[in-house]
Structures are given as C-alpha cells and as structure tokens.
Amino acid sequence: MEAKSLEGFSPERIPVRQIVVTLDEAGMRLDRFIRHHTPGVPPALVQRWLRTGQSRLNGKRAAGSERLEAGQTIRLPPFETRAPARPEAHTPPEWAMRILRDAILWRDPALLIVNKPPGLPVHGGSGQEWGVVDAMRLLLEREGQGEVPELCHRLDKETSGCLVLALNKMTARQMSAAFKSKEVDKEYWAWVAGTPQPPTGIIAQPLLKGATRGGERMVVAAVHGLSARTRYQLLEQHAGFSLVAAYPDTGRTHQIRVHLQWLGHPVAGDEKYGHPEVNRQLRALGIHRMTLHARRIGFVHPATGRRLEIEAPLDAAFTRMQQRVATPQPAVTQPSHEKSVPDSRFRYGTKPDGSFRSGSGGRRPAGRTPPAKSECRGSDPDQPPPGSKPPRR
C-alpha cells in the first residue's frame, strides 16, 4: 500500500501495514523508506521504531542503514497523521545551519561532503531531535534544490571531520557498495594518552557490540567478536599525549576508540572508553571534546570515475591541544621490533628508542605514508614485525 493511498482509514491513526519494496525503491536505506511511507512522522520517531523493533524488515529487526532489495517486506507500526511534517521542536537551529553551510568541503550534483563539527549527531534519534543530515536537507530545501541528502556512512557524535552524503539514489547505492567493499580510504587523527609502542602497527582485535559495563552498553575487544583491523602511525610525541593517525580497514562501531583503548592509549577526551584521569587533564588544558577527527577520505567518484581526495581542516579545539601540551618530542620514523603488550597502564611521556624527526606542527608530516596494509604487523598479536628475530627464551 502506498503512503498516499490511505482511503478507508481514520485520518488520525493509521493501523499496522506491511509494505513490499518495489524495484524503484531497491537500494534505499530502510529508515528513509519508512519516512517516505509515513508522512508527518518525525525522523526521531522512525529511529525509535527501529530501535524497539516496532518496524521490521522481513519480520526481523534491522538497522536504519540497511539497504533494501526488491521484494522485501517492511512492517510499519500504527502512527498518527496529524503530526506536522517538521515539528518546530525538531527543526535544526539557525546557528547549526550557519555552521554547516560553512563546513561544506565538496559539493556537486551527486555528492555533498561536510566537515562535521564535534558534538553534532549525524541524524536525529536516541534523544537527539535533529542531526547533520536533517540540517543539510533543510538547507537544500531553502535553496530550492530537489536533492535529498542521504548518509553514506556514520561518524560518532563527538567525532569531527569528513562526512559523505549522497544526493541521489544511484550515488547512495554506489557509495554504500564502495564502503562495504573497502574501496574507500579513511584517515583519522587522534590525540591519545601516552606514546604507543611500537610507533607503527596493526591492531587486529575482534570487537563485540552490545556488551554491558556498569549498566552502559559498549563495544569491547573479545575473541568471539567480529573481525576488526586498524592500522596506526605515531605522528608526534608530547609530554603525556601523542598525535596518532589511524587507518581503519574495517568499519565496526567505535572501532578506532576501542582499539586504541585496547592498546593502552585511549583517545583523549573519550568519556565512554577513555580514562577519567586523562580526561581530567584534558579539561584542565581547556579542551572539552573527544579529540578524534576524520582527517581525510578518498575514493573513486561514482559519477566521474576520477579519484577524489578530501581533507577536513582541524577545528580550533583540536589544534589548541598541540599548543597547550608541553614542548613536542620528535616522532619516531622506524618501528620498534618489540611487540606491544597492552595493559591497563598508560605510559605517559614514554620516550621510545629509535631514529627521530621533527613534529609536523598539526600538518601532515612531509613524506609520511600510512602503514602498508599487508606489511605492517607491529601490534597484530599473530604476526611479528617484518625482519624481526624470534625472542630469546
């Protein structure tokens, strides 16, 4: 039944419906499909339906990011039709509109890439009345544009940096396939507690979603979790903190944050996975955000076939971190041959052995390249670094 074909029902309340996905709707995100068929329902309510299982895909719970296939059946719960399409309480504020308008890094008929500020959710739901995607939709509406932006991936609320949105269904499907097949290169920068050892490596710890600690749902490193892989590289050393580049080869929830925590060097300012003392030191420096930034993203443009590389500038708080910490020590260029041993201790101000070079001052260090996906094994528990000798017994 189409969303506009509601004859015979009360104009105040629509009963439970089962809607079959058509060929034209194949490739749509589940949450957008539901919004399309439930006019007048706020996006936050749609997210609640998905979280609580009131809306289901082929009789099972599914995430709003799930891409649909023709012939699948979507359950829609009862809903009121008198709710306005965009309640005033859920309209993005004007200050957010101004910030996001200035944060656009790339825009063409197919793609929109913004430098997401920290503290803004990507979409409404879970207590959030609106998100970046809602603000961008309203922004395009005001400009008289017909495009309806769709999220191609996610960033945590407290993470800043490159966020990609598609402006049509075809691009959304192509970008979704690119992310799924690992054809998108991502680079994150993070300030972490202490100095990771070795300075370059791979963290290949499986991650389990939904674990509970102290009543809070979290992601944890667990042998029976889903495979996850993050390459990292030390960029700068400071007294107590270091700047690290992280390259996630998989896209698990909170992957970089949990992997760096497992390594013993949590992201500074991370209230969920970080260390309270580290976060207290950060606040004393005047930094009140989680210092994780999606610095760069690269992929083949689905419309032009040309390589697109986008870099998101660092915000004032992120760069101020470098100014507030002690005089930087030069970063290590050669990885240590000693395997990192994760524990609960934070090695503040550790000065590793090896050759040195000057720090980058917040810019990409000259000549720096990411750790090779197939060569670097610094923190992989199953493989030693290349060229290393077996330890003496």
CA separation for the pair 47, 20 (Å, rounded): 20
Residue 285 is which amino acid? L
Query: 217: which residues sit within 8 A by CB, 6+ positions away?
Result: 210, 211
DSSP-assigned letter for residue 125:
B
**Which residue in 156, 353, 380, 382 is the catalytic one?**
156
Q: Which two tokens stand for residue 319?
A: 């760069």
CA-only gyration radius of the chain, Å: 23
Query: 306: which residues sit within 8 A by CB, 6+ positions away?
Result: 300
Q: Which two tokens stand for residue 114?
A: 């913004």
**What strand order describes the sheet that includes 73-76?**
17-20, 73-76, 56-57
Say how far residue 17 (Cα) sits from the centre of its chain. 33
CA separation for the pair 154, 164 (Å, rounded): 9
Q: Is 156 an annotated catalytic residue?
A: yes
**Nearest alpha carbon to residue 201 among 393, 389, 391, 382:** 382
Q: How far is CA 265 from CA 127, 191, 376, 380, in A?
A: 30, 9, 19, 16
Task: Look up tokens 């395997």; give the residue.
Answer: 339
Give the residue numbers marked as catalytic: 156
